Amino acid sequence: MNSSNSSYAAPMVYISYWELFQKYYTPLLREVDILLKTTDTQISIAEAAHALRMSTKKARAIIGDVSHIDRAKFLDMMMRGDSTICRFYQRECACGSPVLYSPETIAYIYDLQAEHVKEVCRECGVTTVSANDLPAVLNRIFVFIVN
Long-range Cβ contact pairs of 30-36 (< 8 A, separation 24 or more): 32/78, 32/85, 35/74, 36/71, 36/74
CA angle, corner 39, sides to 35 and 41, nearest 5? Answer: 140
What is the β-pairing status of strands 142-146 and 12-16? antiparallel
SS3 68: strand
Q: What local confidence, expressed as pLDDT, does residue 1 receive?
A: 45
Q: What is d(CA 123, CA 137) in angstroms, rounded to the nearest whole number?
A: 10
Measured between alpha carbons, how far is 141 from 119 in angstroms, rounded to an integer? 10
List, for residues 104-143, the tens digit of each pLDDT value.
999 999 999 999 999 999 999 999 999 999 999 999 999 8
pLDDT of residue 14: 85
Q: Tell me what pLDDT residue 89 has.
A: 95
Residues of the chain with pLDDT under 70: 1-10, 147
18 within 8 A of 139, measured Cβ to Cβ: yes
β-pair type (43-44, 68-69): antiparallel
Residue 9 has what pLDDT?
Answer: 64
Sign of the alpha-carbon torsion through 135, 145, 91, 30: positive
Q: Where are the domains of the chain?
A: 10-23+98-147, 40-94
